[in-house]
Homo-oligomer: A and B are copies of this chain.
Amino acid sequence: MKTFDEALDILLSKAVLTTQTERVSITHALGRVLAQNITSALNVPPHHNSMMDGYAVCANDAHEIKAGKVFTISQCIAAGMIGQPLEQGTVARIFTGAAMPEGADSVIMQEEATEIEGGVKFSVTSFQSSQNVRHIGEDIARGAVVLSKGHKLRAQDLGLITSIGIAEVEVYQPLTIATFTTGDELLEPGEQAKAGKIYNANRYILAGLVPRLGFELIDLGRVPDTLEATIVALKQAASVADVVITTGGVSVGDEDHIKPAVEQVGHLDLWKVKMKPGKPLAYGEVAGKPFIGLPGNPVSAFSTFNLFARPFLLKMQGQQKVRLTPLWLKANFDWSKKGFRRDFVRAQLESCGQETVVNLFPNQGSGVLTSTVWAEGLAVIPEDSTIEKGDLVAYYAFNEMTS
């Protein structure tokens, strides 16, 4: 048996970074992983500019400003305009984002100004040189790397990239993941319920998890429950996709054909991982493509996809950060039964007053899919451990797993 950490380390060591990249417009780059560093050719902001609507002044005039002297407004500078050098002893009307004119170094906001016949006077409560001015290169200096290869692009990243004038980026092509399900006991939703049959939930769990992470899903549907059909499906999956993922059929003694079929067209390692849910996990190769066999139980399939397949796929996809960072929070439950396996329990956070605590779904049975629907994340009960209310536990939010 492998510990959870051993299994994850081995799995990640097998993940080979994709080499397929493409150049895409920034309007198609959301959720894509950078295959290049983004370096700025510009200073941001490109010039000293005003943070406010107000008046550009010279700090040398501080004394007269505070004394309430009336200043001539020698020019008016809107965003996008380049003003004239400021005439000594005058001020310029200026708007947010507009470049500061030469000779001006500070901005007084319009709320502290009164325009009167012949000019403007100020009633400042305090005045400091450089106030309300953003300086050239303050946000980004020319030549700086603003985003690194391996970063997954979010909305604010697109904003940053466009703010330095870049319209296209080199990203990795999204991995394609082929899935199929086998099992004569499976019904598709919409089919009539029958004694001894169960609905094929795993197919639709994968159909949600895979695209949400930005991968392309090729769902080959349900395959007849014979060795020959399974081999055909595996070969087809490997020929169209970068990775093949199935659920079920990999336990010792299983009636299913996945295991012998994979062994005919590639190879398979069956791992017993000291974790719960999700003990049996298979890793192998089908016609040169990585194969991951998740457990057949839906809760186990969901958990092991997030805990194993996700980091494996993110690494192949070129993403820098593949492991989840735990949140350490107080348990609002007791866990008295020590187990030799690491238990990933379905949990929810509750914030009350100034405290955030972790609650558990009452039925942690690995057949109980409602637990993952109630839950917003997984909390960890370490191996050979009990938990008392108030102890710190590691928590992983589902929203972090799907991002």
Interface residues of A (CB under 8 A from B): 26-27, 30-31, 42, 44-47, 51, 53, 78-82, 95-99, 110, 134, 138-140, 146-147, 153-168, 183-191, 193, 195-209, 211-212, 251-255, 296-298, 302, 325-329, 349, 351, 354-356, 363, 365-370, 372-373, 392, 397-400, 402-403
Contact = CB atoms under 8 A, between A and B. Distances in A.
A296 to B, nearest CB: 7
A206 B30 CA distance: 11
Contacts of A327: 327, 329, 349, 351, 356
Contact of A138 (B82, B191, B368): B368
Contact of A81 (B78, B196, B349): B196
A203 B199 CA distance: 44
Contacts of A328: 351, 354-356
A370 B139 contact: yes
Given A97-B185, A139-B369, A370-B146, A198 B156 contact: no
B42 A193 contact: yes
Most chain B Cβ neighbours within 10 Å, of A46, A165, A400: A165
A95 B208 contact: no
A329 B327 CA distance: 9
A208 B139 contact: no
Contacts of A185: 78-81, 97-98
A193 B255 contact: no
A80 B399 CA distance: 35
Contacts of A253: 53, 95, 110
A291 to B, nearest CB: 21
A253 B251 CA distance: 71
B302 A159 contact: yes
Contacts of A47: 195-196
Contacts of A44: 369
A176 B332 CA distance: 41
A201 B163 contact: yes
6 contacts: A26-B204, A46-B193, A139-B367, A162-B204, A163-B369, A168-B190
B368 A156 contact: no
Given A155-B212, A397-B399, A95 B365 contact: no
B168 A198 contact: no
Nearest to A203: B162
A80 B183 contact: yes
Given A45-B198, A168-B190, A392-B354, A79 B349 contact: no
Given A155-B209, A296-B96, A351-B327, A165 B138 contact: no
Contacts of A205: 155-156, 158-159
Contacts of A398: 154, 156
